[in-house]
Amino acid sequence: MTHSFHPTSLREYDIRGIIGETLGEADAYAIGRGFGTLIARAGGSRVAVGYDGRVSSPVLEESLVRGLNDSGIYAVRVGMGPTPMLYYAEAVLDVDGGIQITGSHNPANYNGFKMVFQHGPFFGQDIQKLGTMASAGDWVDGSAGSETVDIMDRYTARLLEGFDGKAFRIGWDAGNGAAGPVVEKLVKLLPGEHYTLFTDVDGNFPNHHPDPTEEKNLADLKALVAEKKLDFGVAFDGDGDRIGAIDGEGRVIWGDQLLAIFAEPVLKELPGATIIADVKASQALYDRIAELGGKPLMWKTGHSLIKSKMKETDSPLAGEMSGHVFFKHEYYGYDDALYAAVRLIRAASTLGKSVTQLRSEMPAMVNTPEMRFQVDESRKFAVIDEVLARLQADGATVNDTDGARVNTTDGWWLLRASNTQDVLVARAEAKDQAGLDRLLEQIDSQLALSGLKRGEQDGH
């Protein structure tokens, strides 16, 4: 038996597609067969399986488990919950890997798979290998069963292990995503006063799209914080691995700003530690880490790439502009937005300042949101190569860790190819608007030289 995946579904960090168009039950079965085969060949026999609150998730889970079983792999089913709950299960249960069925922050008609192989990230070539194995029918045959394990209470308790935070008044927006039931359990165990929004899981996302990095999706949370005069608010994406936050005045605390807050208590405990952020993060963050005595490290965007770099550098903390935060300090090193929310309470308590004060003390920068523009898949990496070649010929100060990040006296600008979509991503930051305008002119001129223009963006 062989299987062909839709060419767009096997991505850099995960598998993702549109249900009934580019992803379906046959794909889920083939993923089970392929992943199960790799686990079996590595000497393993058990895999944890979880799924998010999307309408299509339960049927994909059935097919995935059948695929694992037909490859002789026993499935430990942890049921519906956020992606970090599956990561937790993979870390603490007697299993050799884990798969979460999730469409993350994509629209309701998408779904996908995030995988962990023997406690390490599974991405890039690993994912492509599932495709080549499927088309060759290169699968081991076997038979195995499954069991259901209810891990949610244990996971929630783990989020609060070592909790030393004070009582705050907090708003929580789960966006009808898979984090909702955990949020409801968590707020009952935390000190303080808590107000929750949209904690009932609904795969149609009737209230707003579950992507907290887009400011428009924080409108309900801002209204709640203002109405109840809360200390701050937190929001989660569809599968609970990305956090959004606002302070008591309704100002967004972006991913890099959260990292600046988290870094301070961590570096007090681990002086000189390496803290990693992706290429989209503010220069202010890297400066702050250095000022706190840490070693700032700029790395490529992508949760799997960051996790691998953390292992390599023994980093206790890392984060991305997109709201993925990875705590190895007192935790497991995976991205968990619920744990990040708990650590925000702890950080404000340890530092003895309100979240609003911590946000106010940050340097004022003028920056663009993440700007995205369509480019043909076959051109996206080539354009970046052309830009880098021209910049090097001009003697510009360029960091090419992931695309082109250029420092000038005004600030910096970034142009990189997305690994997950046929888009180029740009961002710029300066100390004032005039400087930002000059940086944007540089981006535009580089794009023009490669026959492109910035055009319409779809925001952050």
Domains in the chain (CATH in brackets) are 15-151 (3.40.120.10), 169-360 (3.40.120.10), 366-449 (3.30.310.50)
Confidence (pLDDT) at 460: 37
Helical H segments across 301-370, by residue range: 303-313, 337-351, 355-360
pLDDT at residue 293, rounded to an integer: 98
Angle made by CA atoms 449, 452, 456, in degrees to the nearest 5 = 140
pLDDT at 269: 97
Q: What pLDDT score was predicted for residue 458?
A: 40
Which residue type, as a one-letter code, is found at position 389?
A
Classified as helix, coil or strand, 428 is strand
Under-50 pLDDT residues of the chain: 456-460
**CB–CB of 354/348 below 8 Å?**
yes
Given CA atoms 76, 79, 81, 83 in this order, what sign does their dihedral have?
positive
**308-317: which pairs have CB atoms within 8 A and are 24 or more residues apart?**
308/120, 308/121, 309/276, 310/276, 311/120, 313/274, 313/276, 314/274, 315/273, 315/274, 315/275, 315/276, 316/266, 316/270, 316/273, 316/275, 317/259, 317/262, 317/263, 317/266, 317/273, 317/275, 317/276
Q: Which residues are catalytic?
A: 104
Q: Which residues contact 340 (CB under 8 A, 6 or more apart)?
A: 243, 258, 262, 325, 327
Q: For residue 49, list its beta bridge partners.
A: 77, 99
Which residue intervals of 246-291 are DSSP H helices? Answer: 255-269, 283-291
Give the per-residue pLDDT at 303: 85
How far is it, in rounded angstroms, from Cα 44 to Cα 234? 38
pLDDT number for residue 455: 63
Six token digits for residue 21: 């168009």
Give the integer Cα–Cα distance in Å for 177 and 236.
Answer: 8
pTM for the full model? 0.95
Question: What secondary structure letter does DSSP report for 364?
Answer: P
